[in-house]
Amino acid sequence: MVKGKIHSIETMGLVDGPGIRVVVFLQGCSLRCKYCHNPDTWEYNGGVEYTSEELVKKIERYKTYFQSSNGGVTFSGGEPLRQPEFLLETLKLCKKKGIHTCLDTSGFGLGNYDEILKYTDLVLFDIKHYDRAGYKNVTLMEIDKSLDFLESVQKSKTKIWIRHVVVPGLTDGEDHIEKLKEYISNIDGVEKIELLPYHLLGKNKYDVLKLKYPLEGVPAMDKELVKKYNKIIER
């Protein structure tokens, strides 16, 4: 029986895929994104242990809510692909129950992607940066694992929504957005692109965990400017 570590579960998610969704945040992530607002999900030893069966039973309780809105379940994190066996087992059970499955991921996982994607209806793919140097600057890690996952998504022809966090001085500016757009144009199956404005809501978690906040002094992203960037993407 496969067990996994769960950080938290949100039962009425409205921004993590289509419709109303149960959002399951898996524990553990190896990226250290400068703008991360969930540093409490990093450690692999934290969270509450569930078997796949226990988790799916919990998800099923909300089926009436999410099915009426063409919703389902979204596996997020942390990084869900860091618990591949547990994720795969849970996805299989969800599909048996007729639940729409979505994976919110940066692609920085541990493999077995082809099998995982067989049971995934939609991927919300978080592009940290479009080039190697930028990716390393944002996440402190190399881009290769993320590219391997993206290659598997392309091969599987799974539907994909793109997400990109826009941070002042880090991932903003018209030139950056133009290059991002060019990068995305080479990805097949993209149904939607979401530019997410950087906010300061997670800063207090760093204080509680006694961690240094990487973007100290950087203001929240101007939402009007992000609207302007969206027009570049839509053009």
pLDDT at 68: 87
Task: Compute the distance between CA of residue 129 and CA of residue 44 in angstroms, rounded to an integer.
Answer: 25
Q: Which residues contact 167 (CB under 8 A, 6 or more apart)?
A: 34, 35, 198, 215, 218, 221
Rounded to 10 deg, the angle between the 174-184 and 223-234 helix axes is 40
pLDDT at 1: 79
Mean per-residue pLDDT pooled into runs of 10, the chain (235 residues): 94 94 98 96 96 98 91 97 98 97 98 97 98 97 97 97 97 97 96 96 92 95 96 92
Task: Compute the distance between CA of residue 137 and CA of residue 104 in angstroms, rounded to an integer.
Answer: 22
CATH for the 3-234 domain, from 3.20.20.70, 3.10.20.30, 3.40.718.10, 3.40.50.300: 3.20.20.70
Instruction: Write the CA distances from 30 to 82, 142, 154, integer angstroms.
Output: 8, 11, 24
Number of H helices, E strands in the chain: 9, 8
Q: Tokens at residue 154, please?
A: 């392309």
pLDDT at 86: 98
Q: Count the Cβ atoms, other than its own, within 10 Å of residue 126.
A: 22
Using CA atoms of 41, 43, 46, 47 in order, give the dihedral in degrees to the nearest 10.
30
Domain segments of the chain: what residues?
Answer: 3-234
Strands 159-166 and 190-197: parallel
The DSSP code sequence of 119-149 is T-SEEEEE-S-SSHHHHHHHHSS-SHHHHHH
